């Protein structure tokens, strides 16, 4: 569990953490789990949430970057380079899709189900087995809110248990997804860098942005220092910066702390071969990474 206290030095009142989506979204649920005593505020888009932090209107943002079923959230990797934000923590949130309906509704009453396209896809077999007609919405919590405002008793939504609580709906079925183990990885963003001290026995991740020229073996040379110094790269994302086809930008997640000798040497070599190297943040690895589910 990430400590909310460890992520802020502010004593100016209530810490505000923002997220994308309606109240009751899985990002909202992640905020509740990590910061149960803090104010969580919704934003209409990922950009809006990140700008709230960048402009000082919120201290932190809970942002999803990848899902074990749906894959990466590509938009986030394009937004991060445009923002002056730092990664201060990560969080893994299990996704428990619930079939929700108005109070007193029976399973046999249902004919139509609403949710985000990814949620509908992840529950496709159960939807088919109940002979429900699926309809896509912009997000899961929005579908739950829609159902709560209707008078019909044959409509259902697929959303979180928090959405059921907030919108006064019954949970008709829990764990409605077809496959177990669906998990979303979030990063927690801050306007200020919060480098944790290097402690023996702790595991750390360091996230970096850099560019390489479009020449043979440029990436091989830039990453070679990590291999020769025994530093493990656990994620590599590549994309072309806007307006340019002559250079590539990379986002890497690395095991280690920049105060360690091995990563210090590896970063020295990276600076020699790469351009515009930017440290996005160093943070403690979430305990989920050591679970059997993550290893499998």
Decide if 48 contacts 79 (C-beta within 8 A).
no
- Crossing angle for the helix pair 218-228 and 261-273, to the nearest 10 degrees: 170
What are the residues whose beta carbons fall under 8 Å from the beta carbon of 200, sequence distance 6 or more?
none
Q: Which residues contact 264 (CB under 8 A, 6 or more apart)?
A: 258
**Tokens of residue 284, six digits:** 């403690």
The residues carrying an active-site annotation are 184, 186
Q: What is the number of other CB atoms lying within 10 angstroms of the CB of residue 232? A: 10
Contact 40, 28 (CB under 8 A): yes
d(CA 49, CA 44): 8
CA distances from 280 to 237, 248, 271 (A): 14, 17, 15
Helix (H, G, I), strand (E, B) or coil at 131: coil
- CA-angle at 187, arms to 184 and 188, nearest 5°: 130
Spell 234-251 as b/e; 16+ CB within 10 A means b. eeebeeeeeeeeeebbbb
């Amino acid at each position: 569990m990430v400590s909310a206290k460890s992520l802020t030095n502010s004593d100016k009142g209530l810490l505000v953490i923002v997220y994308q989506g309606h109240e009751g979204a899985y990002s909202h649920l992640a905020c509740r789990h990590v910061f149960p005593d803090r104010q969580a505020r919704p934003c209409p888009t990922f950009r809006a949430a990140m700008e709230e932090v960048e402009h000082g209107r919120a201290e932190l943002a809970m942002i999803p970057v990848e899902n074990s079923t749906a894959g990466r959230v590509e938009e986030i990797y394009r937004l991060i380079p445009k923002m002056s934000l730092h990664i201060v923590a990560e969080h893994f949130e299990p996704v428990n899709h619930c079939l929700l309906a108005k109070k007193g509704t029976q399973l046999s009453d249902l004919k139509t189900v609403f949710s985000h396209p990814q949620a509908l896809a992840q529950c496709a077999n159960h939807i088919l087995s109940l002979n429900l007609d699926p309809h896509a919405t912009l997000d899961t919590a929005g579908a739950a809110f829609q159902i709560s405002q209707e008078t019909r008793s044959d409509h259902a939504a697929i959303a979180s248990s928090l959405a059921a609580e907030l919108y006064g709906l019954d949970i008709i079925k829990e764990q409605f997804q077809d496959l177990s183990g669906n998990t979303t990885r979030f990063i927690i963003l801050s306007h200020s860098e919060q480098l944790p001290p290097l402690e023996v026995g702790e595991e750390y991740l360091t996230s970096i942005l850099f560019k390489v020229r479009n020449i043979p073996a440029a990436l091989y040379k830039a990453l070679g220092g990590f291999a020769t110094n025994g530093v493990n790269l656990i994620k590599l994302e590549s994309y072309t910066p806007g307006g340019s086809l002559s250079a590539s930008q990379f986002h890497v997640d690395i095991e280690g702390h920049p105060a360690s000798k091995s990563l210090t040497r590896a970063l020295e070599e990276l600076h020699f071969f790469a351009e515009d190297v930017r440290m996005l943040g160093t943070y403690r690895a979430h305990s989920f990474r050591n679970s059997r589910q993550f290893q499998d």
